[in-house]
Amino acid sequence: MIFRKTPAILSSLRLILLCVWIQDGIIIYFNSNHRIRRFEFFPMQMAKGMLGLFAATEAIISQLEGLIDQIREDDYTKPLDILSGSSVGQHMRHVIEFYQCVVTNQGSNEINYDNRERDKILETSLDATLKVLATTKDGLNSIRTDRDIYVSGQIGGTGNKVRSSIKREILYAIEHAVHHMAIIKIGVKTSLPYISLPDSFGVAESTIRYRKECAQ
């Protein structure tokens, strides 16, 4: 998060502002009584939209943590026939690294998912994966969302670059995670029945809403 410190005086409000921080559309300041005050200056709908993205991401990470808390490490790394020989750990690593591509580009205006780390430790170590999930969540909570970026990658043998935004890429990471979590769920239900997953694990929010509407 980048803060801009600006001294100001609002005589009309009879407040002496010692300092001001502007943080993602929220002014945070100290008044003359040294009390912290907040003032939102962006449309509330925009705020709700970002809160929705962060809430969805935190729910995803919480569900992944719940899976890790239950699974045995040998099962985490074991190739599963139902997943065409891939493991739960490989899908977990894939989900996390797409989020990392968004989080770690703070000093750049470009994201390239082709260049993700493919860190094997995330496929094999439950402890390491839990730590990275926590770090990823902290990174997303502090990310600047008010900037445009470019997404680049090789498609059809040629390089491509398209304009995007951090918000759009967080949304993409959410949809990507849900897709792979649905695959993980198939492997768990088929081969690892001792693990209990919530009904919403690997299910898109739109699907959950549709099912509720159909049940009414």
Domain segments of the chain as ranges:
8-40, 44-194
Hey, what CATH topology would domain 44-194 get? Four Helix Bundle (Hemerythrin (Met), subunit A) (1.20.120)
Q: What is the pLDDT of residue 60?
A: 95
* Mean pLDDT, the chain cut into blocks of 10 residues (216 residues total): 39 39 42 43 43 87 96 98 97 96 84 93 97 92 83 87 93 96 97 95 87 84
| Spatial separation of the C-alpha atoms in residues 57 and 133, rounded to whole Å | 11
- Answer for the pair 132, 122: CB distance below 8 angstroms, yes or no: yes
- 52-103 pLDDT, tens digit per residue, is 888 899 999 999 999 999 999 999 999 999 999 999 999 999 999 999 999 8
- 43-62 pLDDT, tens digit per residue, is 333 444 556 888 899 999 99
Question: HEC profile for 161-190?
Answer: EEEEEHHHHHHHHHHHHHHHHHHHHHHHHH
Residue ranges in the chain assigned as alpha helix (H) = 44-70, 73-77, 88-103, 121-124, 126-141, 166-191, 205-215
